[in-house]
Amino acid sequence: MANSKSRSSSFSSSNRIYYLAPLLAVAIALILFLPSFIGTSPSPSLQIFDKENIEIPINVTTAVDSIGTRPREPFSDLKSAFHRWDSEVGCTRFRDKLRRLKVDESAVQKTKGGDCSELKLDHVSVWAKVPGWIPDILDGLYECQCGLSCLWTRNEVLADPADVELYQFYAPPDTRKTGEPLRAFVEMEAWRAPSGKEDIFISFHSNSDVQATYAGKTFRITHSYHVADKKRDDVLVYWSSSRCLEQRDKTAKAFLSLVPHHSFGRCLNNVGGNDTALTIYPDCQMEDNPIPHWWDHLHCTMSHYKFVLSIENTWTESYVTEKLFYAIEAGAVPIYFGAPNVWDLVPPNSIIDASKFESIEKLAEYIKAVAEDPVAYAEFHAWRRCGVLGNYGKARLASLDTLPCRLCEYASKKGGRNAPSKH
């Protein structure tokens, strides 16, 4: 009997192991491969560090960590999506998840503080001699830090005697002599480097003498800022480009062929013309501008879509342009192809970074899943509702909006017209 009982017990244990083993294997497979079964990629991970800069695992999960696990649910009402996210996730969990997010603070120049004793002048005059697209709205007299006053004007007479001559699109014609205005050159494109003739080089990068990011509002201040409170659920992606570059168009075409989209502008247009937007969205017409221009209403138009495709013409460090910031301010989620350090300049969890996906196809499937997950989609807007900015607040403070004072401060430290010649 003892032997029989022992054999019976042994058989039962074997049986349990025999039947449990396949179940365990299936469970492990589901955990490892569920994202690919549901047609999405895992949410791109965030790198979190402790005070000793040692990587630690994230133990707070939110809606973007489970995209594809909820039933698909087409939606258009943004406010309802926000309310659902508030009840299912909320700002406390969102802040907890991102509170130790590490960003490179050196990607943005400091705009406040500094040693006032470094200033050599208490007033600086800037003549915007060849300003290009820099808007008239910057003209004025500014009160800056440390009691410094700054005059920025396009008028040569008002600037006289100028401490700084500002150029754009091409370098100053010759090297200055002591007693002449400092030569400042502003270049917001990635392909231009300092010529050696200018005394002050201004660009999008923090390594410049003075940085000017695209994160502000100044150079697009005339646009219609009406923002739709409902999103289309039939057409997911907005794209607009009128400078048809081969590589950018190739990337756009590959992605847009996989998702429902509207393409405005000249490149890959599928809506019938640059100003078709006003026919589709009459709410975007600017009352004080009866003659429509596509650049006036693109901000308002993109606000009707859940996603905006943002592809830089050059993919290089810190070159994050209006193509992305337009979308963020319009209340859409950018799908971004561009700067490898984009997260150093934008709010946490505000964009979909295409570089995090194995393929265009995986990216497209992810977009489709987010588009039918109101809770996950709302989380891409949580940064502004919960006050989680990362480096974005600093990027705005270092934008073109604040360039006059920051240029004047730099010029004052050099001594303005009294600065010694380089040669």
**Taking the domains of the chain in order of start, what are their residue ranges?**
118-212+400-418, 219-397
Tell me: domain 219-397, CATH 3.40.50.11660, correct?
yes
| Residue range 60-90, pLDDT digits in tens | 899 999 999 999 999 999 999 999 999 999 9
pLDDT surpasses 50 at 270: yes
Output the pLDDT for position 222: 60
Q: How many CA atoms lie within 13 A of 235 on its CB side?
A: 16
| Residue range 375-393, pLDDT digits in tens | 999 999 999 999 999 999 9
Pairwise CA distance, residues 93 & 364, whole Å: 28
pLDDT surpasses 70 at 201: yes
Output the pLDDT for position 289: 57
Residue pair 240/298 in contact by the 8 Å Cβ criterion? yes
| Residue range 323-355, pLDDT digits in tens | 999 999 999 999 999 999 999 999 999 999 999
Pairwise CA distance, residues 4 & 266, whole Å: 84
Contacts for 1 with CB less than 8 Å, ≥ 6 apart: none
Question: pTM of the prediction?
Answer: 0.83
pLDDT surpasses 80 at 22: no
State how far the alpha carbon of 268 is from the alpha carbons of 239, 242, 244, 350, in Å.
9, 9, 9, 26
